[in-house]
Structure 1
Amino acid sequence: MGTSAFGDFLRFYRSRIPLTQEELAERTGLSMRAISDMERGRTLTPQLRTVQLLISGLDLKGDEAAEFTALARAGRMSSAEEKPEFPSSVVMSHSLPPVLVELTGREAEREQLTRFAAEAASASHLQVAVVHGPPGAGKTALAVDAGHRLGTRFADGCVFLDLRGMDAEPLTPERAAHRLLRSFGVDERQIPADRDDKLSLYHSLLRDRAVLLVLDNAANEPQVRPLLASSPGTLVVVTSRNTLTGLDARHRLAVGLLPLDRSVALLGAVAGEDRVAAEPEAASRLAALCGGMPLALLIAGNRLTGRPQWTIAHLADQLADERRRLSVLRAGDLQVRAAFEISYHQLSPGAATLFRRLALVPGPDLSADLAAVLVDGADEALEELADANLLGISETPGRYTCHDLLRVFAVERLELDEDPDVVREVGTRLRHWLLSVATRNARMFDHDAADSVRDRESAGRWLALELENWRGALRSAVELGEHEQVLALAKAMHWYSDMHGVGELWREVFGAGAEAAKALGNTRDTAEQLNYLSWALYALCGQPHDALHVHERAAAVLVDDTVTEAWTWYYGSAIRRRVGEPEKAVWLGRRAVELFEQAGYLIGENLALSLLGLMLGSVGSVDEAIEVQERGVMQHRKVGGDDGLLSMMLIRLATNLAAAGEVLASLEMLDEAESLFLRHGTTAGVARVRHNRGIVLMDAGRLDEAKVQLLSALDEARLSDHRIEIMARLAELADAAGEVGEARELRVRALAECDRYDTPAVRGTASELAAALTG
């Protein structure tokens, strides 16, 4: 989650004094966690009292205090929900359950039901709305709330019927029609005994009425369909755990889980707002552990109400243990586990098996291919679980999601219902499948291979979508000592990592690869993986000193392998420049070129020439820099090498061309690089081009064009210090345009980003930003 403007200014004012978060907490009486959440943007709506304490603790006066207060107010306004258009009203209906807890966090859903009711009033035929969602999502509470609010809009009021769809014996349509006839005021003696006659009478009476008919907890379409009849002016709201896709419904409303802020609000509505306000951090943690599920939040609130001596933190600590979580989430006859069990026991054997084995999936979602590794007949089982709302449908077509609490329940059922030996076998099969497919797809990006572009694009999609799953499989393999599989995957990821993924990912992957190679006694692979790890540290994580330490380890284990030695000096050259040793960087760059040329490895030689050009440019030898970079580009074009490598070399060449005053030639190089990246859908590469183009245009005085390029690059910037440079440059452009407020905000954001990186260049930029902000 990114920071907010309020959080960025809080960090800036704290750093200006300077104060640590702990010191500011002591000054204000706020907790370190609260201050951290505000700075990180996790808390967007600080209370006025909190803002006042911060103003005092930060010694803000005058305009700064007013600006700080306005930022907090803006956050509250942006997160506030609009109130429902119509006030609640009480419908006099003996069948409608009472509202025991005010419906909280469902403003959008309430508004939709209000619109459905308005449409029904003017419709020429029956309007049906299906409200579906997972167990515990609050479907019934939403429908009951609608009955009380909207029932008086219908001439004949609201009628509510629980179809008992999750019971062992749900209401049959005949029994349901019987109860509805009683709700319409029909005397028991006038209700026909014959099933068809009973339904006919029900249909005729419904056609003569305009009602809000709530059919709660429906089992399936055959149970509901006989209860529908052509009835203008009537709205039928059907709630179900199943999606009821076979029902001809005018409206569908999926009731999902609550976001964190609304979860906390619901917790406050049950347990008491004062109690929640007294422990805001613990309340947020408790709400998060409930996973946004209203039933779990209601139970948690009830447990707190029944135990006034408990702190919220105490209950949150109990829920933190996954093995106890579902047992803790019970209050009286309300149980999260029981709600899940009802749906689980109605599944077919194949769907139940797949549901249990979801506990073995490392990531938050899965595909049909992955599910097929877990069970036979996965496609049918997935659809059954999705229809039962025990799996969610991802926004990415073909993928499914699983709620945290349902995953905990799946773990329980896996332990209870499956043989441990079978579980181990399935877990091993899944882990090895993920590692094998990830390795195979990563090899598609090997510049020495001749795979088609189409294969590479397909492989990239798989690696991105299954990232959390193959990363989880890698972690398990590391724990189990599966060194061969770990090393194979890490080796395959080398070229893929160039333009994909974040620093933390590659630090983990290549760190695991280095340890696996060491355990296998392979010194060449150990040096190679340490080289890749050093790259992740300096290029993506902004930790050049750590990278230098890893580089020295790689150099220490070098064996008689010319290419590996060349890569070691290649990465060492980039690291030395980052730590402020440009002359040594040039020397190492030259050595890398010599070794790649000696080994006859043209890809490495061309890349090393390109990097050497950057090193030469940094010491002022621009003419030689251009010469060696043009040599690399020419050699690459001659043999028809990979487009991605050519693009990287063109960007580096463009930097030196611009430094030599050859702006048009620089822009031509960047245009070509961008077209190649766009051809292959490499968004990180496109951002890198636009970042560089923005700087070239800005230095050439073409400020409006520069701003467009830099803004386009900002969100996708990948290398460690690029976002800082982009924001600093945009701040300068804002200054030039007289946009003082925008310039200030950009500098504050850039300064906040500087905290993440430890390089001389970033430290220098941070000093410049701070001076501009305080000057």
Structure 2
Amino acid sequence: MGRLSRPLVPTGALTDFYEQLHALHLAAGQPSMRRLQRLTRTDRRPTGINPTSIHAAFVRPQPARWEVVAEIVRVLGGDVDRFATLWRRARHCQVRDDPDGAPPARPDPATRVPVPRELPPDVLPFTGRDPLCDTLDGLLTEGTDRAAMMTVLLTGASGVGKSALAVHWAHRVAGRFPDGQLYVDLRGEDPGEPASATEALVAFLHALGDTADLPGTPAALAARYRTRISGRRMLVLLDNAASAEQVRLLLPGSPGCLVLVTSRDSLATLVVRHGARRLELGPLDTGAAIELLRDLIGDRIDAETETAHALVQCCGGQPLALRVAAERAVALGSVPLSTLFGATAAPARRTTGCTPEPRRPVRVRLPGGG
């Protein structure tokens, strides 16, 4: 395969996409297609992307699949998020065989397909979950090579950081889903009634631009939702699920999407019947918990290490409990940690699991903090 030539495409989004892709290839020293194949080798794809597919991504008059483009951009050292935007715009641009023909008409804004960006804000600082993020990255790579939709389930106790991990990772990989990200809190950990699948489906359809004449039954709503999302690369985050039945109707029916579910329950049916991959979160280890406290409180942690370590043990390494304790320390910044938490974190209390006197439970909710 010799020198790459640019495809003949009309001026606009397609031209911008190919010019930027070729400029990136030039800036990287114009590596050969065989060289790019070697660079795209991973554990999940040991032979790399086929050189023919790589070559086609540069010369076809229409953009290649996003997973191919994303890998090319990554190994060339480009900005994957920026190219995701260029690719999405180019993908919706009509290609004409006659380069001298009139450019395609600009789409009517009223008919454009919405690109929802519904993820909650990331919870920062975030620490201690690198191995799980790496595992999620691997599942995402595996999902792009599958002929079926990928579902990942994050389980663990309340306050262990399921939602925080899901939201943090979803932001990190948002560029891999150029058609958008959908989010719903299914309220499975709230004291009231969980959200119904119907409620979630209506919200999703509105986000996808479908607001008129919605069907009246959950099954019909689910069918409409699967139709609207078919053929699109989207991330769907179903937070705080109460049951597998609640989740089932919210699963897309075609590949290209990844569904990330968080729940304090195991949702065995989701694993058995729908092939979900389950990852269980445990508490932060001591080092990560201390790092989180240091990020939240500052150098006071290093000045009172014994109290800090006792506080971590008292909180059981639970991120939510550590954040609540840190907020108290920051609010009372002039009070030493040993004074604030000395009795709570005393060795005698640690041996009993730091169980407080019986009282009415108090729920503390942080954005993405479950």
- What TM-score does the superposition give when structure 1 sets the normalisation length? 0.30
Matches of 2:217 and 2:135, distance apart in 1: 39
CA offset digits 1:740-766 (Å, max 9, x no partner): xxxxxxxxxxxxxxxxxxxxxxxxxxx
Which residue identity is paired with 2:289?
S
Residues 108 and 128 of structure 1, relative CA distance in 2, 3 Å threshold: same
TM-aligned CA deviation for residue 268 of structure 1: 1.3
Contact 2:80 2:175 in 1 (8 A): no
Match for residue 180 of structure 1 among 204, 228, 234:
204
2:314 corresponds to 1:289:
yes
Contact 1:130 1:253 in 2 (8 A): yes
* Aligned positions of 1:452-471 closer than 5 A: none
TM-aligned CA deviation for residue 320 of structure 1: 3.0
Residue 544 of structure 1: aligned partner: none
TM-aligned CA deviation for residue 191 of structure 1: 2.8
Q: Matched residue of 1:215: which SS?
A: strand
Match for residue 103 of structure 1 among 101, 126, 137:
126
Residue 161 of structure 1: aligned partner: 184
* Aligned positions of 1:726-741 closer than 5 A: none
Matches of 2:176 and 2:117, distance apart in 1: 17
Matches of 1:243 and 1:230, distance apart in 2: 22
Which residue identity is paired with 1:126?
M
Which residue identity is paired with 1:338?
R
Residue 323 of structure 2: aligned partner: 298
How many residues are treated as equivalent by the alignment?
A: 247
Match for residue 133 of structure 1 among 156, 167, 173:
156
TM-aligned CA deviation for residue 122 of structure 1: 2.1
Q: Matched residue of 1:98: which SS?
A: coil
Residue 412 of structure 1: aligned partner: none
Match for residue 251 of structure 1 among 277, 280, 298:
277
Gaps of 5+ in 2: 1-77, 86-114, 366-370
Identical positions, percent: 33
Residue 205 of structure 1: aligned partner: 228
Residues 281 and 88 of structure 1, relative CA distance in 2, 3 Å threshold: farther
* Aligned positions of 1:413-452 closer than 5 A: none
Q: After the TM superposition, which parts of structure 1 deviate over 6 Å for at least 4 consecutive aligned residues?
A: 86-92
Structure 1 or 2: more helix by fraction = 1
CA offset digits 1:497-547 (Å, max 9, x no partner): xxxxxxxxxxxxxxxxxxxxxxxxxxxxxxxxxxxxxxxxxxxxxxxxxxx
Contact 2:185 2:240 in 1 (8 A): yes
Gaps of 5+ in 1: 1-85, 329-334, 341-775
Contact 1:88 1:148 in 2 (8 A): no
Matches of 1:324 and 1:305, distance apart in 2: 25
Matches of 1:180 and 1:199, distance apart in 2: 10
Residue 265 of structure 1: aligned partner: 291
Contact 1:125 1:231 in 2 (8 A): yes
TM-aligned CA deviation for residue 294 of structure 1: 0.9
Contact 1:117 1:235 in 2 (8 A): yes
* Aligned positions of 1:341-490 closer than 5 A: none
Structure possessing the higher radius of gyration over alpha carbons: 1
Matches of 2:364 and 2:334, distance apart in 1: 28
Which residue identity is paired with 2:310?
R
Contact 1:327 1:337 in 2 (8 A): no
TM-aligned CA deviation for residue 153 of structure 1: 0.5
Match for residue 304 of structure 2 among 252, 262, 279:
279
CA offset digits 1:315-350 (Å, max 9, x no partner): 33132365995669xxxxxx985379xxxxxxxxxx
TM-aligned CA deviation for residue 190 of structure 1: 4.3
RMSD: 2.9
TM-aligned CA deviation for residue 207 of structure 1: 2.1
Contact 2:307 2:345 in 1 (8 A): no
Which residue identity is paired with 1:313?
S
Match for residue 147 of structure 1 among 170, 173, 178:
170
Contact 1:122 1:233 in 2 (8 A): no
TM-aligned CA deviation for residue 89 of structure 1: 6.8
CA offset digits 1:268-298 (Å, max 9, x no partner): 12222x2222222221121121111111111
Match for residue 147 of structure 2 among 98, 104, 124:
124
Q: Matched residue of 1:246: which SS?
A: helix
